[in-house]
Amino acid sequence: MSDHTISRRQFIKKTALGAGGLVAGSIGAQTLFTNPALTVKKGSKPNILFIAVDDLRIQLGCYGHTQTLSPRIDQLAADGILFERAYCQVPVCGASRASILTGIRPDHSRGRFTAAGSRADQDAPQATTLPAHFKAHGYHTLGNGKIYHFVADSANGWSETPWRPYDYDTDGNGDWAAYNFDKLWLDPASKQYVGSNGRGPYFECPDVPDDAYEDGKIAMKTIQDLRRLRAMDKPFFLACGFSRPHLPFNAPKKYYDRYDPEAIDLADNRYAPLNKPSGCTNSTEIKQYTKIEGWPNQDAFHRQARHAYYACVTYVDTMIGRILDELKSLGLDQNTIVVLWGDHGWHLGEHNFWGKHNTLNNALQVPLLIRAPGFRGPLRTHSLVEFVDVYPTLCALTGLPGPDSHTLAGESLVPLMQNPLQSGKPAAYSEWGTGRAVKTDRYLYTEWSNGSKMLYDHQIDPDENNNVAGQPENSSVVAELSSLLQNLIL
């Protein structure tokens, strides 16, 4: 069911907003699409491996970022469909996860999914979450690592107690950032820099094995669970949530060593966008850590921070590869849907911004990959999609009905998987603070409750260096995009 009060046909006719709206990404040689139901054993349901990666922006080889080493994620993309323009609904961990796992949009006016520490069970208590829905329909559901922001959030949706490597703030009623504590720092030299808030340096790279850090432990636990689940007589929904490349950028030394820091490119627009509204701000999350000399604008910091982020991506990429290898070795890969997503975007020095927490494209655009039985990659689509589309997509791929408890805000992506050249939905919507944003084929527009406006024309300014909301020639565009926001059903 669509939330849009303007039809796609009506929207596409509006050429001022839809220029190039029917352009789609290239697809591979395989263009024959089969019914997923024909590829699985009669009477069985496909399994689901649901992989979440914290703070992962589209800094991946499969998205064209050649400096980042992500071979295993790139291979997953080559085997399935890559969504080139996927958007999260909230650029912060807790709220984004609550939104994707309920299929409900954020709404600042109702206090729903707008805070860093948002919980699905508190902000949308009526909703049947994605794991709970699959559990109710015969799936064995497991959650390892960071799926929801809090391990206790919507815990009744899991068949087994959700698991994390460390116990912290288990009821979700204490410090929402309690995941920052001294166990995360393994280098003895880091200990002297742990501050009064319990947080140490923003990165470290000791010579330790992969499973010394939590993401290695999460990969091992997920592999062990796959071996157990293979013997069960029911399908599984196995969620695996990795913590890196969220701060602190801690990873084993060997992943740092794969990069030459002097060869790492820096952003070429390290200045504030022209006419930037006051509501568009830099995240200060990194300031909660130590050893951040040079933040936010010195070259040495930029190069060091990018190096650290890339190393963490490669570390997690390797862990994901091990899980996918185990899935294949167990003979489960042909009957398992794999979904990989990053919960929101991240700035890596563009505009001297570091982190998320705004409605610029780098904070909102996210990686989204799906590999499913019956769909042979490599496939890519340039159509706009949203995280709220994931819930109905998984229902469609497994033949489940939608939940009875609430209306899903998104639309199934199966038609795009069958024909990546389709135009898809006309717009994607996001919120942060009192700002509400809409992304169309050409524009990204934000308006705040105080009346401030921000418009970027991605056709001529893809790096968002000039806010053109105030230019008279764009008044009709602003009015049209503002109308989309006002008429969006929440």
Give how far the C-alpha of residue 25 lies from the chain's centroid of Cα atoms, to the nearest Å: 20
User: What's residue 198's pLDDT?
Assistant: 85
Summarize pLDDT for 408-437 with one digit per residue, the tens. Answer: 999 999 999 999 999 889 999 999 999 999
Write phi, then psi, for 430 (nearest 5 degrees).
Answer: -145, 165
What's the mean pLDDT in 75-82?
A: 98
Summarize pLDDT for 283-334 with one digit per residue, the tens. Answer: 999 999 999 999 999 999 999 999 999 999 999 999 999 999 999 999 999 9
Instruction: Provide the whole-model pTM.
Output: 0.91
User: What's residue 372's pLDDT?
Assistant: 98
Residue 148 has pLDDT above 60, yes or no: yes
C-alpha neighbours within 13 Å on the C-beta side of residue 465: 11
- Does 347 or 191 have the greater pLDDT score? 347
Cis peptide before 235 (omega within 30 of 0): no
Strand partners, 249: 203
Residue 25 has pLDDT above 50, yes or no: no
User: What's residue 224's pLDDT?
Assistant: 98
DSSP secondary structure, 359-427, as one string: -SHHHHEE-EEEE-TT--S-EEEEEEEEGGGHHHHHHHHHTPPPPSSS--SS--SHHHHH-TTS-B-S-
Residue 232 has pLDDT above 80, yes or no: yes
Task: Return d(Cα 471, Cα 474) in angstroms, integer.
Answer: 6
User: Where would I find the H helices in 21-139?
Assistant: 71-79, 93-102, 120-123, 130-136
**CB–CB of 248/206 below 8 Å?**
no
Residues 6 or more apart whose CB falls under 8 angstroms from that of 220 comprise 211
What's the mean pLDDT in 225-250?
A: 97
Strand boundaries in 30-185, DSSP class E: 47-53, 81-87, 140-145
User: What's residue 172's pLDDT?
Assistant: 67
Residue 114 pLDDT level (bands cut at 50, 70, 90): confident
Q: What is the mean pLDDT of the chain?
A: 90
Angle, vertex CA 357, rays to CA 355 and CA 361, nearest 5:
80
Least confident piece of the model among 4-8, 53-57, 172-176, 208-212: 4-8
Give how far the C-alpha of residue 46 lies from the chain's centroid of Cα atoms, to the nearest Å: 23
User: Taking each helix axis from N to C terminus, what angle separates 299-329 and 214-230, rounded to the nearest 10 degrees?
Assistant: 20
User: What's residue 180's pLDDT?
Assistant: 67
Residue 27 has pLDDT above 60, yes or no: no
Catalytic (active-site) positions: 93, 149
Cβ atoms within 10 A of the Cβ of 259, count?
Answer: 18
The position carrying tokens 């064995």 is 140
Residue 364 pLDDT level (bands cut at 50, 70, 90): very high
The position carrying tokens 């589309």 is 389
Residue 7 pLDDT level (bands cut at 50, 70, 90): very low
User: What's residue 84's pLDDT?
Assistant: 98
Give how far the C-alpha of residue 183 lies from the chain's centroid of Cα atoms, to the nearest Å: 26
Residue 42 has pLDDT above 70, yes or no: no
Residue 15 pLDDT level (bands cut at 50, 70, 90): very low
What percentage of the chain reaches a pLDDT higher than 90?
83
Task: Return d(Cα 143, Cα 141) in angstroms, integer.
Answer: 7
Residue 14 pLDDT level (bands cut at 50, 70, 90): very low
- Pair type for strands 81-87 and 365-366: antiparallel
**CB–CB of 200/264 below 8 Å?**
no
Residue type, position 342, single letter: G
Residue 135 has pLDDT above 70, yes or no: yes
Residues 6 or more apart whose CB falls under 8 angstroms from that of 160 comprise 141, 142
C-alpha neighbours within 13 Å on the C-beta side of residue 347: 32
Summarize pLDDT for 160-182 with one digit per residue, the tens. Answer: 999 999 876 666 666 656 666 77
Task: Return d(Cα 431, Cα 445) in angstroms, integer.
Answer: 11
User: What's residue 379's pLDDT?
Assistant: 97
Residue 35 has pLDDT above 50, yes or no: no
Residues 6 or more apart whose CB falls under 8 angstroms from that of 308 comprise 202, 203, 205, 249, 251, 256
Summarize pLDDT for 370-404 with one digit per residue, the tens. Answer: 999 999 999 999 999 999 999 999 999 999 999 99
Residue 26 has pLDDT above 50, yes or no: no
**CB–CB of 324/336 below 8 Å?**
no
First to last CA, the chain: 12
